[in-house]
Amino acid sequence: MKSYLAEFIGTFALVFCGTGAIIINAQTGVISHVGIAITFGLVVMVMIYAVGNISGAHFNPAVTIAFTVAKKFPLNQLPQYILAQIGGALFASLILKFLFPENILLGTTMPSGSAMQSFVLEIILTFFLMFVIIHVAHGSKEQGMFAGLAIGSTVLLDAMFAGPISGASMNPARSLAPALVSGNFSHLWIYLSAPLIGAVFAVLAHKTITPVN
């Protein structure tokens, strides 16, 4: 239960701060795209340091599924982790809806170009993210002095250059929650499927280049 609660809190923080930055920027214009990217990177980094030794600080169903495929995470805990992540994300979006009822999208991830463009981008971005995670994590635990910095920086980097095109979600829970609460399901399939594909590809790449002991 401690692990599930840690995943709930961590994913709540990710969605509350990250999509909250998008909402507040839409209202005030002072945060900017760079500020939004930094917010996502920082909240991931600090929550990894906060609960990485408790739950592994996945905060992302694609990451948990990829660790399961890599046989670094027990299959019998997969449903509970995903439910905790989606629950935390939904709770964050519901609070943001209460705080900013005039905002229509609530930070819903939307492509600015074609659907295929964003689909491919999300696969590649999540590949980068999971590739970094699986190389700095111990098993499925994101621990160590530099793990949070490396993973948070990857999120920031992906969001910085690709956010204006695809939204740089890399996380089905992050995209699902605002879509459910706002009722805007346009292009949601991209953000549910592409991160899973990218994360699994990263696991395959990891297995290919990692020497067998």
Task: Report pLDDT digits (tens) over 129-147.
Answer: 999 999 888 655 555 668 8
Q: Does position 213 have pLDDT exceeding 80, yes or no? A: no
Task: Say what the pTM is.
Answer: 0.94
* CATH 1.20.1080.10 at 2-209, yes or no: yes
Lowest mean pLDDT among 8-17, 91-100, 137-146, 177-186: 137-146
For residue 60, what are the CA distances in angstroms to 114, 171, 212? 25, 5, 28
Span between the terminal Cα atoms of the chain, in Å: 33
- What's the DSSP call for residue 183? T
pLDDT for the residue numbered 182: 96
pLDDT for the residue numbered 1: 85
d(CA 70, CA 108): 30
**Which pair of structure tokens corresponds to residue 22?**
């998008």
Q: What is the mean pLDDT of residues 180-194?
A: 96
Please name the helix (run of DSSP H) or strand (run of DSSP E) that holds residue 133, with its range, or none.
helix 115-136
Domain ranges of the chain: 2-209
* Angle formed at CA 96 by CA 94 and CA 99, multiple of 5 degrees: 115
For residue 41, what are the CA distances in angstroms to 13, 15, 109, 172? 12, 12, 17, 17
Total residue count of the chain as it appears in this document: 213
